[in-house]
Amino acid sequence: MSGVFIVFEGIDGAGKTTQLAYLHEALLSMRNHRVLVTREPGGTRIGEAVRRVLLDTGNSEMTGETEALLYAAARSQFTAEVVRPALARGEIVLSDRFLDSSLAYQGFGRGLELHRLRQVNFLATGGLRPDLTVLLDLPVAAAVARMDPDRRDRLEREGVDFFERVRRGYLELASADPGHYLIVNAEREAGVCASAIWARVRALLQDRPTFGGCPGLDGGS
């Protein structure tokens, strides 16, 4: 595949959507290459339908296993319908969440076995991995303070202990695979975070023959 797959991860409230938008804007300076912005679960008609079920506050009885399998189902459709075709076209794909969300939330958060989750999601993705995962790391108290209490979805209504486990899980995943992760201290100003992300992404693209000579890669953000 000739494209580049970049994923943003982190607990709810960490600022993934904001930083993805900053990176998208920076990448627009690269002429002659398309950038696809998407999210997971979602990104497809089927995925968005599954997303509604997963995040509906009325589904409080949902088990961790059901949750994990629904995420994997949406991810399978997302990978086949959106990500792989875009990468085959040579596009830069920016996704708000991917596989590691399931490992962090359903694995560390819900206590499901990581090796089982990896097996299910290998089937769902065919083993596809991001070229870079940007982890926006933020203390749970700060993340919760950023959430709108009147608009929290089913997962956002989980307790502090749940999000502490998820955060620790993300950091453990990142420390085990530093070559594919960039950990960003999301307590810093948004512009500072964006500059750090752009520096890493620019270096990644410069190492790719397809993107190395693109206008905009030699300068800053």
Residue showing tokens 């420390």: 175
Taking the C-alpha atoms of residue 104 and residue 83, their distance in angstroms, rounded to an integer, is 21
> Which of 128, 131, 68 has its CA nearest to residue 94?
131
Taking the C-alpha atoms of residue 217 and residue 133, their distance in angstroms, rounded to an integer, is 19
Phi-psi region of 43 (alpha: psi -120 to 50; beta: other; left: phi over 0): left
Q: Give me 112's structure tokens.
A: 């499901």
Contact (Cβ atoms closer than 8 angstroms) between residue 114 and residue 161: no
The answer to whether 11 is annotated as binding is yes
Q: Give me 24's structure tokens.
A: 């998208």
Q: Give me 21's structure tokens.
A: 């938008």
The answer to whether 14 is annotated as binding is yes
The answer to whether 15 is annotated as binding is yes
35-39/181-185 β-pairing: unpaired
The answer to whether 111 is annotated as binding is no
The answer to whether 12 is annotated as binding is yes
Q: Binding-site residues, please?
A: 10-17
Q: Binding-site residues for ATP, please?
A: 10-17
